[in-house]
Homo-oligomer: A and B are copies of this chain.
Amino acid sequence: MKEIKVSIIGFGTVGAGVADILVKNAELMAIRTGVKLKLEKIADLDIVRDRGVKVPEGVLTTDCNQAIAAADVVVELIGGTTFAKKVILDALNAGKSVVTANKALLAHHGAELFAAAEKNHVDLFYEASVGGGIPILKSLREGLAANRIGRICGILNGTCNYILTRMEREHAEFDAVLADAQKLGYAEANPSLDIDGFDTAHKTAILASLAYGQWFAADDVHVEGIRDLDSRDIANADELGYRVKLLGIIKNNNGAVEMRVHPTLVPKKAMLANISDVFNGVMVEGDMVGRTLFYGRGAGRAATASAVVADLVDIGRNILTGSVRRLPAFTEGKLFDRLASMEEIVSRYYLRFTVSDEPGVVASVSQILASHKINLASVIQPENSTKCAELVVLTHPASEKSVTKALDEISVLPFNLSPVRKLRIEEF
């Protein structure tokens, strides 16, 4: 059986995971798939530190170019968007197929990388960039190839889902849970990429691109993170039958594609609401298949490595059967008309007003909302001992534009004591 030589560039957490699988499960994979993957080189600046993997002698090197030259397939696991980009381009231009998990790089420079892969007639796969170990890209591109995609909603960031799960269970505030998550290693020292929603936006852009045939920029995604979430809103949602999840939402409304990331109220009975802790889940709706959901670990050494190695097996099959580029890195072919603006989206809303406790306030709020054609589904005013009252409103579907206008009007009224809290609701 011909061996497929694999070089890993970047011996960090996921790199060590990939090496571990290639050492431990290579024989199993050869039996199961007919593809024998050989760990040829691992390149890193630090080849001394113990990563808990027993790597065969001669595999470790600090020479990235040597590692690329020695391989049939190169795995980029450096992270970042500068040196990682150079490594991928070097490998592609040397005629090597590439596997990467680098969503930020793909979201920002995908088009350039895909062009290089096409020019050199090699494969570029990136299953691990979205949903960690979940084979969501394969499912979307291949398993659901027969479908027009109407909606995708994903819990795509394990750190955020872990924080939200704990905020809900422990009735705790964001800052306290984040600090603890950092201590436990579930959140980075600089957590912005995760908690401000950018990582979810990168992944949302990738999913939308595969669904609609144009490589979207991450900047086209409307992003709101979870940093400003108040535990009271999570508690209110709970009481109303919802959980708050950071969702990447993609919809196609008659050709207008929305891409947005924000904390979202999800009905408790929905499958997505029951995805807890660091787990990820992606719901995909197709015109033929109906609703599907894919669930698993969205991060972590072994799960992410599982996805990387699945790509290696795919590329190995292509090399062995002479069908490299059987599945192009990305297939251009626009399946939509235009991007929707945030103003035109239609959603249900959760609104929490902090108002002075005086007669007529509920009437005023309701009137202003009504004047913008926003219909109320329910209004709750919890009993309160202080002079201010909390007013929680769930709306029927309304346009973001109307809601923004209504809230602008309400915010300047004297009875409104602090900024209105607005969360969107997604129904399933």
Contacts and interface: CB of A to CB of B under 8 A. Distances in A.
A331 interface: yes
Contacts of A300: 290
A148 interface: yes
20 contacts: A21-B288, A31-B213, A32-B331, A135-B143, A138-B142, A142-B310, A142-B314, A145-B310, A269-B274, A271-B274, A286-B306, A288-B302, A288-B306, A289-B306, A289-B307, A292-B297, A293-B296, A317-B327, A318-B326, A321-B326
A356 to B, nearest CB: 42
A146 interface: yes
A317 to B, nearest CB: 5
Residue among A269, A274, A305 with max Cβ neighbours from chain B (10 Å)? A274
Contacts of A144: 135, 306, 310
A127 B143 contact: yes
A32 B335 contact: yes
A404 interface: no
Contacts of A335: 28, 31-32
A107 interface: no
A322 interface: yes
A146 B323 contact: no
Contacts of A286: 133, 306
A146 B310 contact: yes
A294 interface: yes
A25 interface: yes
B309 A146 contact: yes
Interface of A: 17, 21, 25, 28-29, 31-34, 127, 133-135, 138-139, 141-148, 213, 269, 271, 274-275, 286-297, 300, 302-303, 305-307, 309-310, 313-314, 317-318, 321-323, 325-328, 331, 333, 335
Nearest to A18: B146
Contacts of A287: 25, 302
Contacts of A142: 135, 138, 310, 313-314
Given A34-B331, A323-B318, A29 B294 contact: no
A294 B294 contact: yes
A271 B135 CA distance: 18
B313 A317 contact: no
Given A31-B333, A323-B326, 18 more contacts: A17-B288, A25-B288, A33-B145, A133-B292, A135-B139, A135-B142, A138-B139, A142-B313, A142-B314, A145-B310, A145-B313, A269-B274, A287-B302, A290-B296, A293-B294, A294-B294, A322-B323, A326-B326
A292 B292 contact: no
